[in-house]
Amino acid sequence: MSYAITMAKGFAPAAERNRQPILDVLRRVLPPAGLVLEIASGTGQHAIFFAEHLPKLQWQPTDTSSEALQSMGTWVDETKHENLLTPLELDVRYSPWPLVNADALVCINMIHISSWETTEALFHGASELLANGSPMITYGPYRLQGEHTAPSNAAFDQSLRSRNARWGVRDIDELLELGWRTGFTLEERVGMPANNMTLVWTRDA
Ligand SMILES: C[S@@+](CC[C@H](N)C(=O)[O-])C[C@H]1O[C@@H](n2cnc3c(N)ncnc32)[C@H](O)[C@@H]1O
């Protein structure tokens, strides 16, 4: 991710562009009230926007990076939305997670910028956290049946893999199999701007 740093507060231009289309999906699929755990919140821009526009939900931002936690802490202090909780350190690979339950989980743009083991840990942790029927929403670029959905995604995949051989745009078929192993069903695949998708998963009963 490219951060433009202003003091400790990071700013990701992509988060400004995709926040409204993502919010439009969240409004439809999140429960009307309750606690949402956001994994990999990054700068914190999404957390602030979603907390402001979904005031009946408690929004818990988290990340593993100290730079991200510092950024979102600054945003949260400035914004003061009552439903926006103090950011927590959470690396999905290490259990126990700092929360034992939540009513929904949101994870934006982490699956392709981390190892496959990180995605496996995300699904395993989410299956322990969420009650049956609860949603997990993941957003990012994905491949479909082995194919990229656009040439720009293929180029992005190449650049990710050249930065870190364990990163890369994942195939939805691989995620379906992981969901099957960990108790998640893919309910909906929503096409988003810039060749991204929002995937809406449900914790199986
Ligand atoms: C591309 S940024 C996305 C940030 C934000 N969600 C957004 O869309 O602007 C990827 C984020 O994933 C986080 N991340 C990477 N590995 C992680 C892990 N194992 N557990 C939790 N977060 C992780 C990084 O620290 C980083 O903030």
DSSP secondary structure letter of residue 159: H
Domain assignment present for residue 199? The answer is yes
Q: Which domain does 195 fall in, by range?
A: 13-203
pTM above 0.85, yes or no: yes
63 pocket-lining for ligand 1 (C-beta < 6 Å): yes
12 pocket-lining for ligand 1 (C-beta < 6 Å): yes
The C-alpha atoms of residue 198 and residue 92 are separated, in whole angstroms, by 20
Q: Report the DSSP beta bridge partners of residue 202.
A: 135, 185
pLDDT at 3: 46
Domain assignment present for residue 4? The answer is no
pLDDT at 90: 98
Look at residues 131, 102, 133, 83 and name the one whose alpha carbon lies nearest to residue 39: 102
What would the pLDDT profile of 139-195 be if each residue is shown by its tens digit? 999 999 999 999 999 999 999 999 999 999 999 999 999 999 999 999 999 999 999
Domain assignment present for residue 7? The answer is no
How far apart, in Å, are the Cα atoms of 73 and each of 41, 56, 89?
Answer: 11, 21, 11
Domain assignment present for residue 129? The answer is yes
How far apart, in Å, are the Cα atoms of 29 and each of 6, 37, 66, 133, 182?
Answer: 34, 14, 30, 12, 21
Q: What CATH number is associated with residue 108? A: 3.40.50.150
pLDDT at 6: 44
pLDDT at 147: 97
39 pocket-lining for ligand 1 (C-beta < 6 Å): yes
Structural domain tally of the chain? 1
Domain assignment present for residue 6? The answer is no
Domain assignment present for residue 111? The answer is yes
pLDDT at 78: 87
Q: Give the Å distance between the CA of 108 and the centre of ligand 1.
A: 8
The C-alpha atoms of residue 21 and residue 95 are separated, in whole angstroms, by 32
**Regions of the chain with pLDDT less than 70:** 1-7
Q: Give the Å distance between the CA of 82 and the centre of ligand 1.
A: 24
Domain assignment present for residue 141? The answer is yes
Instruction: Give, using CA atoms, the residue closest to atom 4 of ligand 1.
Output: 42
The C-alpha atoms of residue 120 and residue 54 are separated, in whole angstroms, by 29
The C-alpha atoms of residue 65 and residue 12 are separated, in whole angstroms, by 15
Domain assignment present for residue 101? The answer is yes
Q: Nearest 5°: phi and psi at 2?
A: -95, 120
